[in-house]
Amino acid sequence: MSTNYKELKKGGFMRQRQPNYFSMRLKSVGGHLTAEQLGTIQSVATKFGKGYVHLTSRQGIEIPFIHLDDIDAVKKVLSEGGVQVGVCGPRVRTITACQGNSICPSGLIDTLKLAEEFDKRYGGRELPHKFKFGFTGCRNNCLKAEENDIGVKGGVKPDWHAENCTFCGVCQAVCPQKIITVDKIARSVTFDENNCLYCGKCIKSCPSDAWQGRSGFVISFGGLYGNRIAVGENFLPIIFDEDKLYKIVDAALKFFADNAKSGERFRTMLERVGRENFIDMITEAAR
């Protein structure tokens, strides 16, 4: 019986240069693996591979030198240890995330919770080409949200409370966009909200809680980082409702599935069919 390499790749087994050997991609969500899972991975790499693993650029683990004849046995051992094989090919790939606000002091959103929910909803979904989601907790952008087909970044929308303000000028000094002006004599503050990065530095630095805010999601579309590099674009205001976030993603994936040619990346499709219709549809989904 001939070997179906296409099906093997779909299931996370990528052919090596060495005949009948595969580098096996394992499933991870948001870079999160338990100690028990790591023990299983160590056991498989030792028994069936060459005693080492490869860490991918997207928070994944691959075990090289898995022989064709051992694939079924490897899957059984992994399953018993709570580890799943990953996916490749034209579908939603590994969903990446930083540690977010559950761990990081700078985090503004729960990135791991979101990555796990996205994996339940979209993980492995068949599409015209590979599709990548990435979550980063704040403007520090450790996970480089704009590299992804859809990136989600934590942000916070500032709200100034005049009754608390001492007009010290700290917010003006720390604002990276220079869109806050404090007039100490007139005891007034001006804020250009349209050019806000939602970084929250004004809120964190304010000694009197005059600046407060609500955390939400800043979404970018159409990032690429491979043979061609393109930065994902943000045209929506900050989104606060998680259900609305899923509504937006559902609309974007449908647009991709309906309009892309086979083997065409999301960004390339947007440029070919025109961004205008896509922007109109996403804007409507965000209402």
User: Each residue of 137-171: pLDDT tens digit?
Assistant: 999 999 999 999 999 999 999 999 999 999 999 99
Arithmetic mean of pLDDT, 269-283:
96
Query: What per-residue confidence (pLDDT) applies to 1?
Result: 60
Q: Which helix (H) or strand (E) holds 242?
A: helix 242-259
- Considering the four listed CATH numbers 3.30.450.20, 3.90.1150.10, 3.90.480.10, 3.30.590.10, the one that applies to the domain covering 5-80 is 3.90.480.10
- As annotated, the residues of the chain forming the CATH 3.30.413.10 domain(s) are 90-287
- What's the fold here for domain 90-287? Sulfite Reductase Hemoprotein; domain 1 (3.30.413)
Query: What per-residue confidence (pLDDT) applies to 2?
Result: 77
Query: For residue 287, what are the CA distances in angstroms to 49, 108, 109, 226, 252?
Result: 51, 23, 21, 33, 14
Do 10 and 54 contact (CB within 8 A), yes or no?
A: no
- Report the predicted TM-score, pTM, of the whole model to 2 decimal places: 0.93
- As annotated, the residues of the chain forming the CATH 3.90.480.10 domain(s) are 5-80
Residue 141 CA to residue 37 CA, distance in Å, equals 28
Distance of CA 180 to the CA centre of its chain: 30
- Encode pLDDT of 223-234 as tens digits: 999 889 999 999
Residue 134 scores a pLDDT above 70: yes
Enumerate the H helices of 23-168 as residue ranges: 35-47, 71-80, 111-122
